[in-house]
Structure formats: structure tokens, C-alpha cells
Structure 1
């Protein structure tokens, strides 16, 4: 082989080597970039998850206990030697070093909290807290709104990066404080609706129940004693203070007491049939959800023009849901009047029971779980409701007064 041929082979080999190296370098770089992207994505997900965990306790409001839990989770995320959460007047919790600076932070709260940085004086050479930033928390996100508290972050020296991180953390905490406020509004609305239902328990019904009990005192004292116990149990359940939810078993027991008192008054004019599947008795549903439906049957039945009222209550298992039906052979009503009742525009004389129950069911389970009412003039009324057998976050509590 000639020298020229040998040189050509060497050059060709070098070219292939360089090309292979370039391709290999490109593949390695792409692999490194992909790995870096994956690491970045994991770091971002971890950071978001940690921030959510840190802020979550404030969904219950800003208290020393919730502040302590939030600060304990938030400080490692920010990488600061100390962190504090305050209300509008005092330090609720201090996490980390430098607790002896608490009074200096409290002094800053003498005026409405505003974003500021400040130096801290300290005689302890080992103290890592020499500088801090106070970052207000807002309950509604509105500018100019009174701040319910503040986040304070600390460092050995001034840090713009820590201020920015603290501002983002304060915004995340403020979101959960706002949600806590909304939860409180919803809870107060639910309490108001239950109070309205309790107020609707007719004084007329209570008077008639006591009158019926009194009528048995001389003729049948044992019957009077039983009715008085039913009356006491019914009122104890209806006016209990604890819990927005109850079980179907407890609600049906209250209805049986209500109907027993009604039987004492109406006698044979009232006929009641119950068909209850045992497997749905533990199902949770809103408190005082069924009693207004039964009361509606009696009010527009026996207290109307029907000589003999038949009320049927059925509770069945339908897979993921429990189906409850309250049906009567009363006077019924026109569909337009029913729509006005459900809208709450039919006037105070109609009561608020049906619209209240329908609204609460929709709020808790969604619009597809409202009351389904079939009625017509002279055709009686059939009311159907369906509730999920299991729903996260919904739990019945034992009755208390």
C-alpha cells in the first residue's frame, strides 16, 4: 500500500473516531439533560408538596397549635435558622434558634403588620439570628385588608433570597387562611339552616303532643309514661348541638318517635309502613334530613282533608348509594307550587323544610343528589333522595345536647 493510501486510511479512522465521540458526547449530554429535568421535576414536586403540608394546618384557622404545626414544617423548607408565626398582637409560635428575640418581634406588631426587614441586636455570639423579615398574612387576599397575623423569617445576615422565599410562603399560608374563613362561613350557614329546621318544629305539634300525653295520664298511665319518654327522646335528638351529620339509623329512630306521638293524636287515621334494609342503617346523611319530609306528609295529609293517611318509608341499598323514599296518599299539590316551595318563594306559611333539605343535600353531595318529588293534586306525594354510602370527610357523630 502506498503512503498516500496509508494516510487516507489514518485520516478516515480519525474522522470516524471524532464522529463517534461527537455522537457519544451528544447522547451523554441528552441523557444528562433528561436526568437534570427529572431531578428538577422531582425537586419541584417535593417543594410544592412540602409547602402544601406546611400550610395545611392553617385550614383550621390561625391558633397557637396550628401555627406551631405549620412553622415546624415550613422552617426546613425555607432553610432558615428560625421562623415565627404571629397573630395581630403576639408571637404564636417560634421554631428554631433565637427565641430570646421574641419580644422584639412582638414590639413590631404594635402597629398593623406590614412587610419590612429589621436588624436584631444580640449579645450572644453563638446566636445565628441577627436579621429578620416580617411578612403579613392576609385572610382574603385583598390589598389593604387587616392582616390577621404575619410570618417572620430570620438569618445571620440580610438575605434578599430569603425575603422572596418568605413572601411566597406567606402567600401560600394566606390561601389556607382564606379557605379557613370560607369553611367557617359554610359551617355557620349549615348551623343556621339546622337552627331554622329546629325552629320549624311546630309549637302546634309540641302542644298537641303534650295534650295527647296528658289525655292518657288518668286512663292509661303506662301509655302516658311511654309517650313522655318518646317526646323527651325526640326533642333531645332534634335539639342536639354536636355534628352536621347523623346516621340513617338515628334519623329513622327520631322519625319513629315523631310518628308515635302523631299516632297518639290521630289514632287509626294514621297508618305507617316502614321497609328498611339493615345494610343501609350505618349510612351517614345530613342531620334532620328525613324528619321534615315526614312532617310534610302529615301537615298536608291528616291536617289537611284526608280522612286516613298512609305513610310509607322505604330505605334500600342501591350499590354505592342508599335510596330513601317517603310516600303518602295525601292531598298532594300542583307542580308549580312545589317548584315555588323548593325555590323558597312560596311564602312563610309553607315552611322551609323541603327547600332546606334539598339545598343541604345539593351542597354536600352535588346537584344530582337533590330531592326528587313526584306529586299532583289529589295524587299524594312521593319524595326520593339518594345519598352515597361512603363520602370522604363526612362522618356522623353521636348525639349530644
Structure 2
């Protein structure tokens, strides 16, 4: 089972293919270049020019190094941590040595010797690796999973109590439907009690969402209509648990219940390139308190996405005339990194 233990924030040797990791590496090295330019510049007036000259040398080296590290990520992760870190340092130093020797041979750069450039590159790489290791300790698996459990715990009472109320309303009038509803409710309990650090398949998450909506349909009747639009997506794709259900609950509670005539909840799931798109739309009736209530689940899911995917996933909200839509965009990962 794919787990948060495999995600980049929890391992000291970073996932060089992760956008957040690449962005932090670019910002970190350019920050060091800014400081170096300030130290080397004779005055503040020439500081920016010095940085531009230095960046013209540093950026090609940095981009090539990140590309090679992204290509070799899986190999590096299979090695012991310290050996992997040593290879990253060696790669940075070797690249700097080769590039500066080449530039020196064609008279593009005579200011820094290749050996000195290799040493500076290794120091900068060591600085980055140290940062990522400290960050991994701050986001250790135990802390991350405890936080995910706390976030999931905020969700559980809402849909479990709502579902229980729906079942109670059926016990006397429609006992057979109540029995079927209790079976669905037991599945919801199992989902809520699942290890929050484990990912689930897209098919399981969709099935859970459908069970929840069936329970709500028993309570709301014809006032609740559902429109599923599922494109050609890989149903075994691992995604974080309880992504759909809280948003579906929001759509029902904030969009359908306040409307005298009810409405339609539209769920669209599609794959666009290397990203999975999940969009949930519902009608709105203008109540300020209901619109504000949406933000609790949205903030919850946004924080969980950050724990799982760093900067690679995002949550977007679009509001219009009598319409509210939440979109989740996730990277398609068919196996643990």
C-alpha cells in the first residue's frame, strides 16, 4: 500500500522531480549567489551587475545538475542515505569541474579555477542537502501521520452523524432500505478508520463518495440529483483518502439543503496530461453562512494536499451566479515514489 512514508517531505534525500523541491533548490542557490555577489562586489552600486554575471555561470550548472538528479532519483533512493548524499555532492563537484574547465579552455571564464569552482559547488550542494534533511526531520512520518489523523478526525463526525440520522429516519418506514443503508454506513466507518497515512485507489474513493450520496439521497429524496462525469482515467491511481467525501458533504449541506427545490451535484473526474482533475460543483442560494462554511473542509483538504504533495497539487475555487465549484488537481502517481 502506498504511504505518506514514501513522500518527499519525509525522506532526507529529496525527490528531485518534485516541483517544490526544484523551486527550493533554485531559490536556495540563487540566494547564495546573491550573497556571494554582495561579498565580491566593491560597492552596492555594482552588486546587481555582479549577481547577473554570477548567475550566468551558476544557472546552467544548477539546471544540468537538477536534471541529472531527477533522472537518477530512483537509483539514489535505493542507496543508503549517506552514500546517496555523497553521490549528490560528487555530481555537483564533477559538473562544476568539467564546465569550468571547458569555459576556461574557450576563454569564457578565467576568474575562478575549476578546482575552486568544484569546491564551491559541493559546499552549496551540502547546504541544500542539510536544509532538506532538517526539513525531513521536521516533517517526520510520525508527525505527518499524526497531523493527517487529526485532520481526518475533523471530518469523521460530520458525515458519520449525518449518515446515522439518515438511517434512523428509515428504520420504521423502510426497514429493508435501512438495512442496506447500515451496510453502506459500515463501509463509511471503515474508510474513516483507515490509516490516514495510506493512500487509496481512485476507484475506492469514488465508491465511497457514491455510498455517501446514496445515504444522503435517502434523506433528501428527489431534492438531491447527482451527475457523475468520469472520463478515461486509471481507476487504480493512488490518491489521499477522504478527498471526495467532505467536498460532497459540503455540496449537499451548503448547496442542496438550503434550496427549497434542491439541485444537482456535479462531479467531474478526468486526466489531463500527467494531472488528475477532480471538480465538484453545486448550486448556491446566497446564504453567507453556508458559503463561509465551505471554507472549513476546503482549508482541511488544502493542508492535507500540502502534506502529501508539497507544491505539486493545488485546490481551486470558482464561484459564479448561483454556482460554487471546487477543483483538486493532483499529480498522477501510479506507484510510490
Give the TM-score, by structure 1 length. Answer: 0.47
Match of 1:182 in 2: 138
* Match among 292, 297, 306 for residue 353 of structure 1: 297
1:201 to 147, 153, 156: 156
* Cα contact 1:197–1:353 (8 A) shared by 2: no
* Contact residue 230 and residue 257 of structure 1 kept, 8 A: yes
Given candidates 166, 179, 183, the residue that maps to 1:225 is: 179
Output one character per residue of 1:21-74: Cα deviation in whole Å (capped at 9) or x when no partner.
xxxxxxxxxxxxxxxxxxxxxxxxxxxx99x94445999xxxxxxxxxxxxxxx
> What residue in structure 1 maps to residue 4 of structure 2?
none
Could you list the per-position Cα deviations for residues 122-175 of structure 1 after superposition, in whole angstroms to 9, with x for gaps in the alignment?
xxxxxxxxxxxxxxxxxxxxxxxxxxxxxxxxxxxxxxxxxxxxxxxxx99x96
CA distance in 1, matches of 2:83, 2:204: 32
- Gaps of at least 5 residues in structure 2 are 1-74, 86-125
Post-superposition offset of 1:388? 1.7
The DSSP-based 3-state class of the residue aligned with 2:163 is helix
SS in 2 for 1:331: coil
CA contact (8 A) 2:265 2:280 kept: yes
Displacement, 1:230?
A: 0.4
Measure how far apart 1:249 and its partner are: 1.0
Task: Assess, with a 3 A threshold, how the Cα gap between structure 1 residues 57 and 256 changes in structure 2: closer, same or farther.
Answer: farther
User: Is the Cα–Cα contact under 8 Å of residues 148 and 196 in structure 2 kept in the other structure?
Assistant: no
* Cα shift at 1:381: 0.7
CA distance in 1, matches of 2:174, 2:296: 37
TM superposition shift of 1:319: 2.4
Distance 1:292 1:252 in 2: 12
Encode CA deviations 1:364-390: one digit per residue, 9 max, x unaligned: 4354631111114x5221111221222
SS in 2 for 1:273: strand
| 1:182 Cα offset (Å) | 2.8
Larger Rg: 1
Contact 1:304–1:331 (CA under 8 A) maintained in structure 2: yes
Q: With CA pairs under 8 Å and 6+ residues apart, which has the higher RCO, 1 or 2?
A: 2
Matches within 5 A, 1:387-398: 387-390=330-333, 393-394=336-337
| CA 1:190–1:305: 2 relative to 1, 3 Å | farther
2:210 is equivalent to residue 267 of structure 1: no
Structure 1 pair 390–350 and aligned structure 2 pair: CA distance change class (3 A)? closer
**Contact 1:251 1:288 (8 Å CA) reproduced:** yes
SS of the residue 1:300 aligns to: helix
Note if contact 1:328-1:381 (Cα within 8 Å) is conserved in structure 2.
yes
Alpha-carbon distance in 1 for matches of 2:335, 2:188: 29
Is the Cα contact below 8 Å between 1:248 and 1:285 reproduced in 2? yes
> Structure 1 residues 392 and 281, CA, compared in 2 at 3 Å: closer, same or farther?
closer
Q: Secondary structure at the match of 1:256?
A: helix
Per-residue displacement from partner, 1:293-333 (whole Å, max 9, x unpaired)?
A: 11111121233245312101111121222211111112367
Q: What 5-or-longer segments of structure 1 have no aligned partner? A: 1-48, 60-170, 342-348, 395-401
Distance 1:247 1:277 in 2: 16
Pick which of 225-234 and 295-304 moved more. 295-304
Corresponding residue for 1:312? 266
Q: Does 1:191 align with 2:183?
A: no
The residue number in structure 1 matching 2:58 is none
Structure number with the higher strand fraction is 1
Aligned to 1:214: 168
Shift of 1:227: 0.4
Distance of 1:284 and 1:57 partners within structure 2:
30
Matches within 5 A, 1:99-114: none
Q: Take 1:180 and 1:362, find their aligned partners in 2: how far apart are those partners?
A: 14
* Helix, strand or coil at the partner of 2:256: coil
Q: For 1:265 and 1:188, locate their aligned partners in 2 and report how far apart those are by CA, in whole Å.
A: 38
Give the 5 Å matches for 1:222-261: 222-241=176-195, 243-261=197-215
CA contact (8 A) 1:248 1:281 kept: yes
User: Which residue of 2 is the match for residue 104 of structure 1?
Assistant: none
The residue number in structure 2 matching 1:382 is 325
